[in-house]
Amino acid sequence: MMGRQDRDQGQLFYEFSLDEMIPADHLLRRINGFATAVLADLHDQLKAFYSDIGRPSIDPELMIRMLLVGYCYGIRHERRLCQEVALHLAYRWFCKLDLDDKVPHHSTFSVNRLGRFRESEILRHIFERVVAACMAAGLVKGEGFAVDASVMEANASRYHGKAPNPGPMRNVRSAQWPSILPHSKPRRRSRKTETAAGVVLTGSRPQHPTASHRR
């Protein structure tokens, strides 16, 4: 007998635990303890860049955790990052957001990145703490660094990523160029061109065949 999922009215009360929905081997669960240790003194580092009066601001730890989610999963745009955190349960759990908590507006990230985070150099502080923790764990030595780069072909390159091969072309005479270059057409040399070439090569103007008879 085929069953049907018929629900005319939604359930009023739910017994739901967000922590139970995140698998034990999930990436965000594995780095959560490490992120908590790195961000332990975040509020003390940023205390001087907040006012003592006014309404409470967005928690800076929440924004840092959202940025970590974007870095881990390749979400580069802040507007999309806010949408993904609002929809994904694992992202909400890592950012310490409950199901009914609102996600910060995407413009909040721009204001803090260009303001408090840049002036306080908090991102540099977090990076240095991450490197120090990796050195303490024996993952890195801290003696050197590596830079990764990718060579990309530009649209303006006429060789399309391949260098020209001038070797066989050096011994080719000018008369053989039309057969090598299919798009080039041989030009017919006019009498004026031959005369000008004779002046350049011999240094004297060629005489007309009938010049001796005119003398």
Does residue 89 register a pLDDT over 90? yes
Q: How confident is the model at residue 110 (pLDDT cuts 50, 70, 90)?
A: confident
Amino acid making up residue 34 = F
What angle, rounded to 10 degrees, do the helices at 60-72 and 106-114 form?
A: 100
Between CA 158 and CA 164, with CA 161 as vertex, the angle to 5 degrees is 65
Query: Which of 58-62, 110-114, 136-140, 175-179 has the lowest average pLDDT?
Result: 175-179
pTM, whole model, 2 decimals? 0.61
Interval 153-159 mean pLDDT? 61
Residues contacting 185, CB < 8 A, separation 6+ = 178
Residues recorded for the chain: 215
Query: Which of 33-37, 41-45, 117-121, 143-147 has the lowest average pLDDT?
Result: 143-147
CA 196/CA 19 separation, integer angstroms: 90
Spatial contact of 195 and 206, defined as CB atoms under 8 Å apart: yes
pLDDT value for 69: 94
The overall longest dimension of the chain from CA atoms, in Å, is: 123
CA 57/CA 129 separation, integer angstroms: 25
pLDDT tens, position by position, 160-206: 556 556 555 545 454 444 554 455 455 555 444 444 444 444 444 44
